Amino acid sequence: MNPLKELILNMQMRLCCLDLRSRLYMYIAVLVTILSSCICLLVIFIDIFTFPKDAIRNELEKGLNAYKSNLSSYFSNTAAHGIRFSKISVYEIEKLLEKKEISFSEIANNSVIIDTLQKNIYDLLYRSMILANCSGAFIIFDTTINTRLPDAADSRSGMYLKLQNLRTPTPENYEMFWVRGIAHIGTENGHFFHNKWELEFSLKKLPFYRHLKNIHPSHSEDVYFVTPRIKLPGTWESMVFLCVPLVGSNGEFYGICGFEISTMYFKLAHKAGNGDDECVTGLVAHRQQQWLLPGTGLESGSASGYYAGLDDTPLRVESLSRGLNRYVSSNRVFIGVESPITLSPQPFGENWSVAYFIPESTYTARLNECYIKTALACTIFILVALAVSYLLTKRYVTPLLNGIEAAKKGAAMQTNIVEIDELISHLSQKDKVNAATAEADMSGFYQFRENIKKLSQAERLVFDLYLKDYSAQKIADTLFISIHTVKSHNRNIYAKLGVSSRKELMLYIRMLKGHCGEERTAEQE
């Protein structure tokens, strides 16, 4: 015999020898094991015990942390390049001043010196822009070529170079626009002129300039400032600027320099999430109490190319459960998480915040998907439990029920369950005793039925009313006799019928009714 089959037979034989309690414990253990295995599988594959909102929040927080870390690293690196740009520019300015033996204030109205200064710093401007991985670079000198012009107080000389036709954050061939600066310098370096090119900068459009100019010299070391988003006048382009002051060795303010980060460049260079996050949006912007201001910052979408396309409309922030926020604009609603971020050190640190969110419709769809999975898992779990219960019932409970049914019919049947077999044997013995008792009772009943003929006419009237379940008082009322007369008849009836009490009389009456009913049924058949 196959060893495996022999083992199974031995186990079945041992199982037959177990009592019902042991078998029940074993069956429960098997059922619990199966159900536990199902639960483990559910936990592994669909994470049924994680609340859907918690799962979405954890996913968003994970994305937010990665997005914030990327932005912090980027702005820190860009600031480092900006500070280096500033220090080398100051060195070039002071070297030129020393060579020409003039002060910085004497540069104004001297187009030759300003031209030389821009030429000397151009290469630094270009290299710094490439190294900083940004969309543009600029330097503004705190001087002007012509102080006699009407707007000379707000006009500053400088250079501004920016990438054109952005399609990737790291183009192979850099094509650049010359936005500000002396014209021939842009031409000599092969740059296209921006359609809004001007010779000098207007401070009216750069409100942050005077903030940096007014900084105390002792705070000038490693200071930089990230501006709110600014629109380039007359164009669709908007950007933020990272600005660093140009402060001389003697504390004199020479101007500012820094980098442009355009909205398009930010979208290309700073994806939010990964390819699986089709509708996620990252936003870095100013936060004012319960309002997040997209118009002050930068937005980027997922690697799949999606982004929300936010306008300048403020987003009202509403707290939800599970650590989530609801961001509501005039026509759109998002669900996400948020964290403060430092982009500028003191004294110019602004209240910046990083938000990471998805459309509310996507959030609702994900919740519904989780609920459907949970419902499906519960359904499968119930079906498995029912199937296991059915198999166990069919295998072990059905023989038991068959044995009980056979015992009811008086047939001998072995169930291999000790307690049930003993019960069947006990019931069989009891049935024999009951049969003998019933046989004795029937002989008394037959005698009772014969004795009815001995009753007098008056006693038979009383007896017939007992057959109709009348009480003694109702019999007296029906026959218009006293209750004492009824009791007298009762004594005579008991004596003639051979019964000792009303209880015994009523027992035989019930048997008589049943016997008469059986006889009538037999006659009809």
Q: Could you give the CA distance from residue 95 to residue 102 in angstroms, rounded to a whole number?
A: 11
Burial (Cβ within 10 Å: 0-12, 13-18, ≥19) of residue 327? buried
- Among 240, 277, 285, 278, smallest CA distance to 258 is for 240
Percent of all residues in the chain with a pLDDT value above 90, rounded to a whole number = 36
**407: its two tokens:** 């015992």
- Written in H, E and C, the secondary structure of 75-88 is HHHHHHHHHHHHHH
Query: Would you state the pLDDT for residue 180?
Result: 94
The domain defined by 418-524 carries CATH number 4.10.110.10: no
Residue with tokens 């079906």: 383
Q: Are 158 and 139 in contact (CB under 8 A)?
A: yes
Instruction: Please report, to the nearest 10 degrees, the dihedral formed by the alpha carbons of residues 143, 149, 150, 152 taken in order.
Output: 0
Q: Provide long-range contacts, Cβ within 8 A and 24+ apart, for 510-517.
A: 511/441, 511/445, 512/445, 512/448, 512/449, 512/467, 513/467, 515/445, 515/449
Query: Would you state the pLDDT for residue 55?
Result: 83
Q: Could you give the CA distance from residue 227 to residue 463 in angstroms, rounded to a whole number?
A: 117
**440: its two tokens:** 């004795």
Query: Would you state the pLDDT for residue 128?
Result: 94
Q: Could you give the CA distance from residue 328 to residue 293 in angstroms, rounded to a whole number?
A: 11
Cut 0.95: pTM above it: no
> What does the radius of gyration of the chain's CA atoms come to, in whole angstroms?
51
**460: its two tokens:** 């038979």
Task: Give tens-digit pLDDT for 272-299.
Answer: 876 556 789 999 999 998 999 999 999 9
Q: Are 358 and 347 in contact (CB under 8 A)?
A: no
Q: Could you give the CA distance from residue 332 to residue 56 in angstroms, rounded to a whole number?
A: 20
CA–centroid distance for 32 within its chain: 29
Is the predicted pLDDT of residue 183 greater than 80, yes or no? yes
Banded pLDDT at 512 (limits 50, 70, 90)? confident
Q: Are 357 and 337 in contact (CB under 8 A)?
A: yes
Banded pLDDT at 516 (limits 50, 70, 90)? low
* Number of neighbouring beta carbons within 10 Å of residue 93: 22
Is the predicted pLDDT of residue 126 greater than 90, yes or no? yes
Banded pLDDT at 110 (limits 50, 70, 90)? very high
Q: Could you give the CA distance from residue 79 to residue 86 in angstroms, rounded to a whole number?
A: 10
Burial (Cβ within 10 Å: 0-12, 13-18, ≥19) of residue 305? exposed
Residue with tokens 């501006």: 227
Q: Are 377 and 43 in contact (CB under 8 A)?
A: no
